Structure 1
């Protein structure tokens, strides 16, 4: 009888170590739930910005461009000026170096805007354009200083 109590106590003690481990494993295997509104969507932001080019970007707000930067940095500053829309941000987290983040932004542009022509692909500049020469929308991503990236979309406003 005494031996059974010792074995039982040992079994319960070993379970105390397994239960937290099992809970941790279950927590890591459970997918995180995120609504569609929570996930950064660079395509929606890029398409909205490019669509605004013919009217001079006047209908865009500073928040309209943040979706382009959100996968790569959280401090995006965006805004429209005469004939262009500009965003700049500091790459952070999984974005890696500015060069890696610049390549990732270029990949987003290429995949989100399949009609865009990618005519400059360098570590210092990524350039795309959409449309005929007389009404072309230009999309340029480049480093801005030592630690920031900049996206400029310009076009012929009316």
Structure 2
């Protein structure tokens, strides 16, 4: 008799397990994942990698990942010889100076080969590469309440 009870319980356990797997799979798209967060590193690396070709392959959305942790209204685009984004820091940034420092920290951590040669409350400047093929990265305040990122180079 113990053998029959055990045999009877096994299909029930399998059904419960199968239902749990289906439920978990169905609900998983609703769950937030850490990789769903804005990724400033991916955006910065994509922009810097486009410098040798003149940024022509970038879209306005390519730079928004740099701004999204700090503001939601980023406007980005390629310009002659560069790529620019401008945005208003959100309230969580406390001030545009704090947001500027956070963007500079992102640049420094995401682009470890970059040299940080200007660090002021209104302007952060980095460069990558030799003098004749240098990519310039500037984050700065743009007026009293906006930030601007400019990446330029050859």
TM-score range, shorter chain: 0.7 to 0.9
Aligned to 1:123, what secondary structure does the other structure show?
Answer: coil
What's the offset of the Cα at 1:94? 1.6
What's the offset of the Cα at 1:37? 5.5
Rounded Cα–Cα distance in structure 2 between residues aligned with 1:115 and 1:93? 31
Counterpart for residue 121 of structure 1 = 119
Aligned to 2:113, what secondary structure does the other structure show?
Answer: coil
Rounded Cα–Cα distance in structure 2 between residues aligned with 1:135 and 1:36? 36
Contact 1:71 1:95 in 2 (8 A): no
Q: Does 1:97 align with 2:95?
A: yes
Rounded Cα–Cα distance in structure 2 between residues aligned with 1:107 and 1:47? 14
Rounded Cα–Cα distance in structure 2 between residues aligned with 1:56 and 1:44? 18
Which residue of 45, 68, 73 maps to 1:47? 45
1:119-142 deviations in Å (ceiling 9; x for gaps): 000001100000000000000000
User: How many residues matched?
Assistant: 125
Rounded Cα–Cα distance in structure 2 between residues aligned with 1:77 and 1:58? 16
Rounded Cα–Cα distance in structure 1 between residues aligned with 2:72 and 2:108? 22
Counterpart for residue 80 of structure 2 = 82
TM-score, normalisation: structure 2: 0.78
Counterpart for residue 134 of structure 2 = 136
Structure 2: gaps (5+ residues): 1-29
Which residue of 56, 59, 62 maps to 2:57? 59
Contact 1:125 1:143 in 2 (8 A): yes
Q: Structure 1 runs of 4+ off > 4 angstroms?
A: none
